[in-house]
Amino acid sequence: MKKTFSLILFIVPIYNALHAADAVRLEFDFAQSGHGFVAGFADYPQNYEPSLYELTNSWQARPANLGGAPALFISGKNHSDDLFMYWKKRLIGLPANTSVMLTMEIQLASMYAEGLLGIGGPPGEAVNVKAGAVPFEPQALVDQREGDWRMNLNKGNQSIGGTNMSVIGNVAKPDDGNANYVLLLRHQHGQPFTVTTAGDGSLWLIFGTDSGFEGQTALYYSRLTVWINRADKPHLWLEPDGVADTLRLIWNQGTLRSSTTLESNWPVVPVTARPYPFDARSEPKRFWRVSQP
């Protein structure tokens, strides 16, 4: 006899609050604007020589081979053997003092091929992409003992993540034999990040690169997508994939297996047919049910 259980997916509109639903999806398309993101740098000397580090950032056109639309650009030369370059943004309207889970997906453009050699490490593999969130403003402060600019959060170091940020890959592109920028996708799917919101219901997003490569890194960030849900209520998202009429399933709890324990968060419902009709354009809220033999 086959045993069947069902999972409930709730599709919600894009907005900056969880008051009306238990989950929300935020998409920041940097071709449209900078969306209020602010850049910063850390892990370099307080009394550094600006002409050596060349720390720059802007909202500017991406390379012509990628269409020339604007993106968040950030660049710096890592003379400290440990340069952190980041973007941050404050979200408001979340439930106060509430544990939430974030799944962040970043699209960025890189020109650094796999397998290259570099001082301190390869220019692709030794530049680690990190993402996370904190209930206070991320800032670089001077460490009085070391005399260096250090973050006021725990991001880990280079290839190691910290309690406030996780490693989601690096900036190495497949070796295509040229120095053109290509789009890469880095994400936390299956490994969501848990954080508690501030007392006023705010949260700061932060993403960037932690580099061991002692040279210049220049990157374009073209898109950030963030899924947020209450930590006590797991969620699936079924959403348009951007390719024709195809859909993709986002599961923030990791790989779903036959042994996955759903507990009381996933109520069992009778299944009479699958899949149920779904139209993301006309039905922003819809149940989606999945059967398990």
Rg (CA), the chain: 21
Range of the domain at 130: 23-235
Please, what is the average pLDDT of the chain?
80
Residue 49 maps to a domain: yes
Residues 6+ apart with CB under 8 A from 33: 59, 70
**Does residue 16 fall inside a structural domain?**
no
User: Can you tell me whether residue 64 is helix, strand or coil?
Assistant: helix
Helices (H), 47-180: 50-53
Higher-confidence position of 155 and 213: 155
Please indicate, yes or no, if residue 281 is contained in any of the structural domains: no
Token pair listed for 144:
């009085």
Residue 75 lies in a domain: yes
Q: What total of structural domains would you count in the chain?
A: 1
* Residues 75-102: tens digit of each pLDDT: 999 887 789 999 999 999 999 999 999 9
The closest alpha carbon to 74, from 55, 51, 61, 94, belongs to 55
Q: Which of 101-115, 141-155, 276-290 is the least confident region? A: 276-290
Query: Among 94-98, 141-145, 278-282, which is the least confidently predicted range?
Result: 278-282
CA distance 147 to 205: 27
Residue 199 inside a domain? The answer is yes
Q: What CATH number did the domain enclosing 109 receive? A: 2.60.120
Look at residue 168 and give its three-state secondary structure. Answer: strand
Residue 125 lies in a domain: yes
pLDDT single digits (tens) 42-72 = 999 999 999 999 999 999 999 999 999 999 9
pLDDT of 259 over the 70 cut: no
Q: Which of 203, 176, 190 is nearest to 116 (CA)?
A: 176
Q: Is residue 184 part of a domain?
A: yes
Q: Check residues 139 and 276 and name the one with the higher pLDDT.
A: 139
Whether the model clears a pTM of 0.85, i.e. scores above it, the answer is no
Q: 253 lies in a domain?
A: no
